[in-house]
Structure formats: structure tokens, C-alpha cells
Structure 1
Amino acid sequence: MTVTIHHSLPGRIRLHYDLREISPRQALLAQSLIAVQEGITDISVNTNIGSYLILFDISVISQKEIENLFKALGAKYLEDEKLLEAVSQIPITESIMSIFISTLIDYFFKKMLPLPLRRLLLLKNILPRVLEALEICISEGKIFSTQMLDATALSVAALTGNTNTASSISMLLQMGEDIEDVTKRASYGNLAQKLLISNEPVHILEGSEEKTIPADALKKDDLVIVREGSMIPCDGTVEKGEGMVNQASITGESLPVEKQAGSGVFAGTILSEGELVIRTRTTGRDTKVQNIIQMIDNSQNLKANVQRRSELLAEKIVPLNFALAGLTWIFTRNVTKTMSTLMVDYSCAMKLAAPIAVLSAMKEAASLGISVKGGKYLEECAEAGTVIFDKTGTLTYANPVVEKIYPMKGFDEDFVLQTAACLEEHFPHPLGRAVVAHAEEKNLFHPETHTKVEYIVAHGIASMIKGKKVRIGSAHFIFEDEKIPFEKEVSGIQETSLKTGQSLLYLSYDGKLAGVLAIGDPVRPEAKEVILRLKESGIRRCVMITGDTEGAAKKIASSADLDGYYSQALPEDKVSLIEKEKALGNKVIMLGDGINDAPALSAADVGIAIEGSSSIASDTADIVLSEGGLHSVYMTRLIGQELVRKINDNNRFIIEVNSALLLLGVFGLITPQLAAILHNSTTVGISVKAMQGLLAGGGRS
């Protein structure tokens, strides 16, 4: 491989290679092979201009040695099929300006060619467009399509001898398509970046030696070392090691999943504990995250209705273009004016701007920890009139806390809490964790003064402290099994707990009831504000449905200012409630987190799994929240509303501008070339606008 030095500084060198000598994939393979060499700290490649930028440690490797490394890369390496196959990502470094410049250079170069050759090249450019239009006409039954518009305009110009006009139109069409492709790819890239991309260097294992390489130099079958706290850079299989992986970016499940030898892992997930050695299966655009993006874009079922309406409107307008062109020719007999009307259509901009806006919205949602499985769900969120909340784990954290301690005569609160924590710390069930956590909050030290602790399933805990019998557990365990005398004030405590939905733990000491601990699952602090905001955004009804008791449901519903609640509900009751709401004409959002919520999440127009949800809830839901709590529900609705507004505004703008261009063309005020320039500029401009964020300004407050 031949390289030349473009410029160099100590520890930094830029080399150029001949674009005709090696392909982009070979250039990337060379990058991978050089990156693992001792002393190379970073290397990047620009396959458009044929350039490598290399950072290196001058105490380990010299500039001359780097040149020699490149020179040693002959056909043996760069034409090796296995090595090339392992390179799964070719970097895209295109820009609108580079396309503009390269297209103009190509156009003016062709202008210097002899006329017969120019006509031959023009025919070569026109023929594929004509064939594509005919193929769509035959296979899809679309006589009037944007492809037919372009083919007609080019054919009319060529057949009437307007070679220069036809060449200009061909050049402008190609430039517009190339720029549209780059714009759309950029929107994909932005979404992928939010879901996946990390700038962290990658550590790979070669034999027994560890090397550090750039993430984009990673290739198939590399052994990657991932340590605690790092992002996994590839899809692959664990070769050795054990660890806990947070897969929220893929499944929405915030609880880490155990991985060991043989387990599959995905790019974009985080190793929260341990160390793994992973054999790379796919990287970059081939990873699971990228496949999800492609699935979202390709599936008609996941497109927002407003996006599909844009595409349908665009298709319906195309015949009007032909009708206008026909009328222009009939009344003016002017080829130039007729071609000007053919050069402007509504379809290109509408079909490009709408999906880009949807992808941009999904990218913005991803940046807020909101994983959306299709554009249609953002729109459904925007149009919903009813929100149904599960209680435990959704409106609450499913993380019980001690809300009140009732000491009995002869005991105080600190003694009750300290003694209870001393026993409960040995058996960490949810209620026990709440007791221990409350003791820690109050800085109560509970030394190990008890004897062996015995856990009695479904009853409680038994032990001895300083020769005294100590028991903690349910009312049945304390009063019936252990025969502890029932204190009269306990009846009032039990009545209160039924009204408030609290669970009670009873502590006895030396044969007497020492105290009662009331434990509740409080509403999330943001719930009331979020529900208020949802109503301000147009939600008409916010209700809760739970399998919990009437008292617990009433307490949470009151704390969150809900419009109503349903208690002691079974999973099928949740589905029935959703069906009733839908029968009334309401679009329904269902929020849940548990296995029993999965049927309801599936039945709703939009199922949302909140952070910490079970795997089945996350898999079933249409939207998964991995951070932000209930605030993310409101943000999802806001993004959906802004998305619908943006697409509708864009469509109005497209119709207004292109209608003006058509009128200018009909009256001969602009040439076909200028019509093409203005039309393509409008298309690119509206596409760039569609990529802009939705929540600029006050949206995040």
C-alpha cells in the first residue's frame, strides 16, 4: 500500500493514499490492522479523500516505522476475503457541500466533451430514470408518480433538442437525490448515536496481550475486553468472565442481567458489574440497535398516521402536476413553460421530510431515556384522551418504607425500630429492607446481640436477645402462634392500615407486644405534577387500576389527584377497562411494569413500560422508559404533539412554496433549470428543518 505524508508533528501524522489503489473497505481494514500496532494511540480514516490521521507515542514508534507498516500492507492482507468480511462498517463522511462540489465538477467537465459524446452520456442518465418510471407503472400500477414526472421532463427536453436544459435538469435531479440520501442517512445516524455510539476506546485481546483500538476499527471475531462501567461496543458472545449487564437501551429493563460464558450481549448495553471477554459477532450498522432502526423505518404498521397521510397526499397531488403541464402545453404551446411545471412536485419533500421528522423525534426521545418502537406510538400518545396507571411500581416505586411506628406501653419508637432492624437485616424481603433502611436513616445502630435467627415462612422471624424471646411478623404469627396478648389499641391501628393501605409488622419482646410498624408504598413525588401536566396537554381522564386493596388504592388515587381508581382488579379487569374506554372513542395509554400488566399494555393504543419494568412488560410495551420516571410520560406526549405539529406545518409550507414555483413556471418567470434548483433547495431545506429538535425553548421545563 502506497502512502504519502501530507503533514506531520511529533506524535501526529496525516497520510494520504491513492483512492484508485484500494477500496473504502480495504482502507478500513488497513485502519484495523494498523490500530493494533504497539505505540499507535488513535487512527481514523476518511475514505472520501483517501486520508489517515494517526496519533502515536514517539517513545514507542517512529514516523518512519508507521510509513513502513502501511507499505507492508500488500495484497496478502488487503485482498484477504476473510479479513475483508470481518470489516462490517464503512464510515460515511459525506456532506452536502462535497456532493454539491463534486456534482458541479462532473457537470462542467462533461460540458467540455464533444456534443455526440455529451448526448450519449445524457441518454445514459435519462434511460435508467425512464425504465424506473415504467417499472413502477407496471409493477405498482402507478401511472402518475414522481419518477414519471422526472422521466417526462427529461425526455421532453431531450426529444425537443434542448440538450443543455436536459443535462442541467439531470444534474440537478441527481444532486437533489444524493443530498436527500445524505440527509436521511444523517437522521439514521443521529438516532443510532443516541442509542448506541460511544467514543470510548475498545480494548481487545491478541493472544495474551491487550491492545487499545478506536471503536470503529473493531472487526468480526475480535476478542473485546469490557470492564465494569463500560459500554459494550458490539453484538457478540461472552467467551469468559461473569458480569451484570444493564440492557435498558435495548429492552428498557433497568435491572442488570447476569451474563457468563455462552451468553449473548448487544452493542449499546452497559456492563454494570464484573469483567467480560466478548467475541465480536457484528459491529456498527449490523448491530441489533441498527436492525431495530431499520425495522422501525421499514414497517408500514409502525409509521405514524400523519406520516402515512403525508405520503398519500403526495401521491394524490402528482396527477395534478401532469394535468397542469398538459394545460400549460395546450394553452401556451411553450415547451419551456411546460417543462418548468414538470420540474416541481410536492411528493419528494413530503415523502422525505415526514420520516426524517419521525426519526428525529425518536432520537430526541432516546436522548431522554424514552425508547419508542415506532413513529405511530408517538402520534397515538399525542392524540390519547385517557391514561390508565397501574399502581405498584408505576405510580409508586414498589419500594416500601416505614411510615409510622406504634410503640406499646413500656417501649419507645427507637427500641422497636432498632430491634426490628436487628432481626430483619438477616432476611432481606421488601418489608424487612424497609425496616433496615429506616433504621439507617435515623442512625440507629443495631449490634448483633441476638442468638441464631430463625425465619418461619409466611409468618415471621424468631430469635433471642439477652435471654429474651423476640418475634417479628404477621398478626397471625404473633397473636395466634406465639400467643402474645392482644393490646386494645391494635384494633385502631389495624383499622387505620385498612384505610391507608399499609402493611403491618408486629414486634414482641419477652412475651409482650413491643410495637407495630406500619409500612406503605408511597406515591412517586412527581405523580401529582405529571398528572396535572397531562391534563393541561389535553388528557381528559387519568385513572388507576390495581390488584391492591381498596384502602391502598384510595390513598394513592387521592395523593396523585386521579380522576378515579379501580381496586382488587385482576389482569383481565385491566384489559376490560381499556376496551371500555376504547369503545367510548378514547385512545388509551396504559402504564405498567409487571408481568400481570403485559395483557393490558398490549390491549392499549399505547403501552408504556416504566423504568424497572419486568422483561415481559418491556417486550410487550410500545414505549419503554429507562429514566425520568413519570416525567417521561409527559415528555413522550409532548414530543408526539410537537411531531404531529411539525409534520403538518412542513406539509403546509411544501404546498405553499411549490405551488408558487408552479405558478412562476406557468407564466414563464423561471426556467426549468431554476425551477429544479429552487424545488431541490426547498426539499433539502425542509428535510434539514425536519431534523431539528422538537423541544427547543420551553419544552423541557
Structure 2
Amino acid sequence: MSHTATEVISVVHSLPGRLRLRVPQLAHYPDGAMWFRQQLLALPGVNGVRLRPEARSAVIEYNPRQTDHASLYQRVMRIDWQHHTDGDYEPEYCMADNLVNVGGLALAQFLPKKWAGLSTLLLTAPTLQEGLHTLSRRQLKVEVLDALALGVSMARGDHRTAMITQSLLTLGEYMEQETSRHSDALLASLMQPHEHPVWVERDGHSIEIPSSTLVEGDVMLLGPGDNIPADGKVLRGVGLINQASMTGESVPVRRERGAWLYAGTQVQEGNIAVVAERVGDESSTANIRRFITDSLSQRSETQQVTQQMADRRVAITLGVGAAVFAMTRDVRRLASVFLVDYSCALKLSTPIAFKSIMYRAARSGLLLKGGRAIEQLAAVDTVVFDKTGTLTMGDMAVTDVVSFDPQNTWAERLLAIAASVEEHSNHPLAHTVVAAAQHHELPHINHGEVEYVIAHGLICELDGHQMQIGSRHFLSEHYAIDFTPYQDDISALEHQGRHLLFIGLDNKLVGMIGLQDNVRPEAAEIIAALRAGGIQQVILLTGDSEHKAQQLACELGIDHYYAQSTPDSKVEVVRQLQEQGHRVLFVGDGINDAPVLTQANVGLAMNQSTELAQQAADAVLLQDNLHGVTTARELALEAMKLVNSNIKITEWVNSSIMLAAALGWLSPGASALLHNGTTLGVLLRSLSARKKA
């Protein structure tokens, strides 16, 4: 490791919410400044960063409720500069830069020419230097044209025009950067992992620590309602684990010693000790940080295309200027032409338009990760939905109560009995049964002590009889209850996609309760709106049986469905659609959805989705409903319409200004004002997208 990489970063000063650091590495790795900025924005609590590489200065703005300057400093010290990546870094402007330029414009207007030239040279030096640096690398880019425009004006002694040009250039850059800073900070803050306390066993003692401080080998002590903060194996105890975020199955599963548990799942019942095996750099928190870094540096195809267009227009402007000078030998006309370029508006308006739409989306409850996500959303023609937690709420509702002994246990009494017993359980199906009884205002039925068999069911005494409530397997295997006489009724409900809960009395089947996934009330409306917005087909992928998948597809008006889907088969379905020429949006929420979220042209993760799903997705819903799916599509179409219209406006207006300049109708000052005014107008038009209703 080189000695420069180990130079100590020091604190210059700190205030609550603001930290200024001296970073020697910024001088040794000037091309790594953008990488360093992204690393800082990915730190927990950071909501703003401003760098001055030439001064080795970094100012970090942070939320004091999430972190403090000591913790932040330690995290900055751990950033490994040996892994930095090179990239273009544009000098960051602040309001003071604009005020200085206004002062310079006043000096150019009122000071004697000699002194005005000195102040103008000092203020335009960075732009001139950047142009020479770009030219030295044999690149014909906008920086060269800016430097030439300023140079010609100064050579003519027109310091006022030079300062007007410099002021407008700086103002445009400031507006673009300010929008980018706000959008990047919002993106970073929304994607910060949420920490929570966890009890662990260390040195024979139980202590509570933040989940971010877990280390490999920690024994996590987890009980009902606890989220599992790290991947690991069960060391002791038996628990009922809600794995809906991982498998899409809303019914919890039994897990005991030796079983593997995933971070993001939840303990529904029981108390278990779990050995943490994937923490630190392998954890989802570290993955999210890496994703933030990537998403902030991601350039969309449109941005790349407009940047290339901007660079090509530089050559056009230079060519027109050379032709005008060759024919007229008029330096004034040459200056007027050089002060018109298409590149400023093309280069700046596109990222501002995207960031404005990203900002507005976030305010509407939708996180869009960069311009690429917006481009792809505007182009999709097929939407693929996962089921559990996406089209459904992840919980269930009672739809049927069937009594096989109506004289003694009629349907209402059966539901009342089941609810009276199930109220002692925290199982989600039990909550559903109790809620149904309360909805129908059924009375509480007195019963004896309830025994809960984890992952199987409940047993209790009722008026001198033994009652069993649970799965078919529980009643048939443990109590030898015969289901054969009622198989037709059972099959009929199964074919309707019901999940069945059976009730036995003295080892005889007396009834069953049918439950169904609770479909989101807005699901059908959203699917219809997507079609109205140009989507050609809507597809359902689910791990459910054929009957359940078919029923849901018919209910919501879905074109095609794939039942009993696995994570691999979901990816294959999306891949086949893409091979047929379709551009696919996939909407899902579980760990098992991460591969298909990545495979799709656009992956959209639900609000309650796992951290892994959110980091794999291109967009994340911040509210627990599907309205964000149509919002995402509408905003993407609006963004692309805005970008394309900005390009046309820039082309037509600047071409007109250039023609007028070439014909000698415009002075250099007027040319600069019109051109830069057009640029600012396009920028303001892009900025206005942030505030539209």
C-alpha cells in the first residue's frame, strides 16, 4: 500500500449536523473524488456532501438523530482508498461562487479596462484552465468551447461579455448540482438500512446491542415478533418462522435446531437462539451500501446519448465559427458564434429532468434508482406480478365455514368455538379466525386449558370433549381422524384455492374453515390502469397451486399465469418474454424475488419487501399499496417526454441564435445572453418537473 493511502484524515471543525474534514487523499487521487463522494453519501445518516479536492476539503452534512461526528469520522476512516475508481469530477459550485461572479461583472462594467481585465482573468481562469486541460487530452468537448468563447471575448477586450458568460455558466452548473445534491441525498437517506436492537448472548450474559454491531458467531436471542437481523442457524429452541418475505408463503413454518434462517424473516411463535453466520461485508446492510454507491454513479442511456450529442455539437459550433471568420474576417462575429453552443442545455437538462422526476417520485412514495430505471419504465410493455405480498396483502380472510355435524356444531357455533380457542395463539391464521368471529359478533365459548403444538395446531377440552384444531396432517396423523367421508367437500374448496383449517371433536371431523389470501383492494384497478397506459399484457407468477393461480387471474383480469413457480422458473419466464422482444417490469417483494428483479428490464420492490429485494430492484414502493406501480409508469413517460422536448427546443432555438450570430445580427453580449438564457430556460423547465401535482 502506498504511503499516500495511509495519510490521516483529520477533523477541521465540527458542529451538530455538519463535519468538515481534511482529506489528503483528494490531492493524491483527484480522479477518485466522485467515488469518495458516493462513499460518503452511502454512510448512515449522511444527507449532503461537498468536496473541494484542490483544498483537500470535505464537508459532510448529517442527521444528528442517526449518527454523530465521532461515529461518522470512524466510518470515513474505514473507507479503503485502494479500491477507489477513477471518474470525471466536476468542480462543485455554491451560492458564493455566483455572488463572486456578480461582483466580477460589476467590476468589468465600472473599472478601467486594465483592472477589469485582471479581475475577469482571475474569475475565468478555472474555465480557461479546464478547456486547455481537455484540449491537451485531445478531446473536443464543451469545456474547450467554453474556454474559446471566453478567450475570444477577453482578446477583444470585451470583459463584460466574458463575465456575463462566466456568470451564466456557473449559475447553470450550480442549479444542476444543487438539484443533484438534493436528489442524491434523498436517494441515499431513503435507502439507508434500518437498524434495530437485538439481544445476544456474550460471555454468558444477555445484552442488547444495535443490529449493525453484530459479529459472526454472536448468539441472537429471538422471540415472538422479532425480525431476524442476520443469516444463521438455530442453536436451540423451536420457533414458528414467518418466511413470507423469502418464500412468498404466508403460512409460517416450524424451525428447530440446525435449521437455517434468513435475515429479514420473522419469529412468529416460540423462543430460539440463532448463531449469526453472515454479518459484516456479507450482510444485507453492506450490500445496500454498495448498491447506493452504484446507483448514484449510474448514467442512463439518454444521458450518455445527450452527452455525445453535446460533444458533437461542439465540433459543429467550431466549424460554423471557422467558416464565418474565413468569409468575413470579423472577430466580433466569431465571438458571437462561439458564444452559442448546444451542449450546455443538452448536457445539463437531461440529468436535471431525471433527478426532478426522481425527487417527485420519492415525495409520492416511490423510489426510482437513477435515469436508467426511468428510461426502462417508459419502454416496458409487459408487467409481471408476484402474488403474496404484492397482489395480496400477505394475510388471509375467512371465506367458508363448513360443518359436518350441523345438529351439534352448526357453522356459526363452529366459528365461535374455533375463535375462542384460537385467540390463545399468535399464529396469523388464528388471528384471521378470531377477526372473522368478531366481525360477525359471535359470542365467546368457554373451554378448558389450551395446549399449543408449534407448527401443528391446538387442542383443548370443551364441555367434557377433546377438541383438535389444525392442519389435515395434524388431525390425521396424531389423532387418526378419517377424512374420507368428506373428501368431495374438501376437494371443492381446495379447487377454489382455499387454505383449510380442520376441526375435530373426540377424534371425529366435525368441520372446516376455508381461508383465502386477502387480495389488495386496488389490484384490479391498477391492472386496468396499466392496460390503459399502454401495457400489452399482465402476467402472474406464484408458488401456489394451479387452482389458486387460476382463480386469482380470473378475479383480477390477468392475461396469463404460471403456478407453482420457483425462483429459477420465475427468472426463466421473464427471460423467455425478453427473448420474444418484450420489455418486462417485474413487481415482487421477497428474497426469492431478487434474481427475477435483476433479470427484468425493470424490477420494482414492494414497501414491505426484504432489504435484498429492495437492493436488487430498480424502483421501490415506499407505501404499502400498488398505486406506485402506475405512478412509476406515468412519471417515466412524463420524464422521457420532457427530455425529448428539451432536446428539440435546444436544437431549434440555438440553431436560430447561431444563424443570427453568423449573419452578424447579434453582438457577442446578446448572443451570450440569448444562448445562456435558453440554457437556463430549459434547466428551469426541467426543474419545474419537481413541483408538478
| TM-score calculated relative to the size of structure 2 | 0.70
Superposition map of 1:229-628 within 5 A: 295=293, 299=297, 302-408=298-404, 409-410=406-407, 411-446=409-444, 449-479=446-476, 481-484=478-481, 486=483, 488=485, 490-628=486-624
Asked whether the equivalents of residues 195 and 211 of structure 2 are also in contact (C-alpha less than 8 Å), the reply is no
Asked whether the equivalents of residues 101 and 123 of structure 2 are also in contact (C-alpha less than 8 Å), the reply is no
1:599, CA displacement in angstroms? 1.3
Per-residue CA distance 1:485-531 (angstroms, 9 max, x = gap): 5474x333222223221111111234543321001113222111111
Q: Which AA in structure 2 matches 1:191?
A: S
Residue 40 of structure 2 aligns with which residue?
Answer: none
SS at match of 1:624: strand
1:235, CA displacement in angstroms? 10
Asked whether the equivalents of residues 125 and 170 of structure 1 are also in contact (C-alpha less than 8 Å), the reply is no
1:238, CA displacement in angstroms? 11
Q: 1:256 to 1:30 in 2, by over 3 A?
A: closer
Asked whether the equivalents of residues 318 and 338 of structure 2 are also in contact (C-alpha less than 8 Å), the reply is yes
Instruction: Supply the distance in 1 between the matched residues of 2:563 and 2:194 (Cα, whole angstroms).
Output: 45
Instruction: Supply the distance in 1 between the matched residues of 2:104 and 2:352 (Cα, whole angstroms).
Output: 29
Q: Does 1:146 align with 2:138?
A: no
Instruction: Supply the distance in 1 between the matched residues of 2:616 and 2:72 (Cα, whole angstroms).
Output: 39
SS at match of 1:389: strand
Asked whether the equivalents of residues 421 and 450 of structure 2 are also in contact (C-alpha less than 8 Å), the reply is yes
Instruction: Supply the distance in 1 between the matched residues of 2:97 and 2:657 (Cα, whole angstroms).
Output: 24
Residue among 606, 631, 635 paired with 1:635: 631
Q: 1:256 to 1:116 in 2, by over 3 A?
A: farther
Q: 1:177 to 1:233 in 2, by over 3 A?
A: farther
Asked whether the equivalents of residues 500 and 554 of structure 1 are also in contact (C-alpha less than 8 Å), the reply is no
Asked whether the equivalents of residues 384 and 589 of structure 1 are also in contact (C-alpha less than 8 Å), the reply is yes
Instruction: Supply the distance in 2 between the matched residues of 1:150 and 1:342 (Cα, whole angstroms).
Output: 8
Q: Which AA in structure 2 matches 1:386?
A: T
1:343, CA displacement in angstroms? 0.1
Residue 169 of structure 2 aligns with which residue?
Answer: 177
- How many residue pairs get aligned? The number is 544
Q: Which AA in structure 2 matches 1:681?
A: G
Instruction: Supply the distance in 1 between the matched residues of 2:496 and 2:532 (Cα, whole angstroms).
Output: 29
Q: 1:317 to 1:192 in 2, by over 3 A?
A: closer
Asked whether the equivalents of residues 383 and 584 of structure 2 are also in contact (C-alpha less than 8 Å), the reply is yes
> Once the two structures are aligned, what percentage of the paired residues are identical?
30
Q: 1:30 to 1:479 in 2, by over 3 A?
A: closer
Q: 1:324 to 1:682 in 2, by over 3 A?
A: same
Q: Which AA in structure 2 matches 1:513?
A: L
1:678, CA displacement in angstroms? 1.6
Q: Which moved more, 1:187-196 or 1:358-367?
A: 187-196
Asked whether the equivalents of residues 108 and 163 of structure 2 are also in contact (C-alpha less than 8 Å), the reply is no
Q: Which AA in structure 2 matches 1:175?
A: S
Q: Which AA in structure 2 matches 1:173?
A: T
RMSD: 3.9
Superposition map of 1:147-166 within 5 A: 147-159=143-155, 162-163=156-157, 165=158
Residue 663 of structure 2 aligns with which residue?
Answer: 667
Instruction: Supply the distance in 2 between the matched residues of 1:661 and 1:507 (Cα, whole angstroms).
Output: 83
Superposition map of 1:61-72 within 5 A: none
Asked whether the equivalents of residues 553 and 565 of structure 1 are also in contact (C-alpha less than 8 Å), the reply is yes
Q: 1:330 to 1:195 in 2, by over 3 A?
A: closer
Asked whether the equivalents of residues 553 and 567 of structure 1 are also in contact (C-alpha less than 8 Å), the reply is yes
Q: 1:659 to 1:405 in 2, by over 3 A?
A: same
Instruction: Supply the distance in 2 between the matched residues of 1:168 and 1:291 (Cα, whole angstroms).
Output: 47
Instruction: Supply the distance in 1 between the matched residues of 2:108 and 2:322 (Cα, whole angstroms).
Output: 32
Per-residue CA distance 1:529-570 (angstroms, 9 max, x = gap): 111111121211111111110011001111111111011122
Instruction: Supply the distance in 1 between the matched residues of 2:419 and 2:690 (Cα, whole angstroms).
Output: 49
1:325, CA displacement in angstroms? 0.4
Q: Does 1:187 align with 2:184?
A: no
Q: Which AA in structure 2 matches 1:492?
A: D
Per-residue CA distance 1:30-83 (angstroms, 9 max, x = gap): 999xxxxxxxxxxxxxxxxxxxxxxxxxxxxxxxxxxxxxxxxxxxxxxxx999
1:388, CA displacement in angstroms? 1.2
Q: 1:82 to 1:687 in 2, by over 3 A?
A: same
Asked whether the equivalents of residues 575 and 603 of structure 1 are also in contact (C-alpha less than 8 Å), the reply is yes
Per-residue CA distance 1:359-394 (angstroms, 9 max, x = gap): 111111111221222220121111011111111111
Asked whether the equivalents of residues 244 and 256 of structure 1 are also in contact (C-alpha less than 8 Å), the reply is no
Residue among 634, 644, 647 paired with 1:648: 644
SS at match of 1:471: strand
Asked whether the equivalents of residues 374 and 636 of structure 2 are also in contact (C-alpha less than 8 Å), the reply is yes
Instruction: Supply the distance in 2 between the matched residues of 1:31 and 1:309 (Cα, whole angstroms).
Output: 37
Instruction: Supply the distance in 1 between the matched residues of 2:171 and 2:289 (Cα, whole angstroms).
Output: 24
Residue 107 of structure 1 aligns with which residue?
Answer: 105
| TM-score calculated relative to the size of structure 1 | 0.70
Q: Which AA in structure 1 matches 2:611?
A: S
Instruction: Supply the distance in 1 between the matched residues of 2:511 and 2:618 (Cα, whole angstroms).
Output: 46
SS at match of 1:463: strand
Instruction: Supply the distance in 2 between the matched residues of 1:135 and 1:182 (Cα, whole angstroms).
Output: 21
Superposition map of 1:18-29 within 5 A: none
Residue 233 of structure 2 aligns with which residue?
Answer: none
Asked whether the equivalents of residues 369 and 628 of structure 1 are also in contact (C-alpha less than 8 Å), the reply is no
1:438, CA displacement in angstroms? 1.4
1:644, CA displacement in angstroms? 0.6
Asked whether the equivalents of residues 108 and 160 of structure 2 are also in contact (C-alpha less than 8 Å), the reply is no
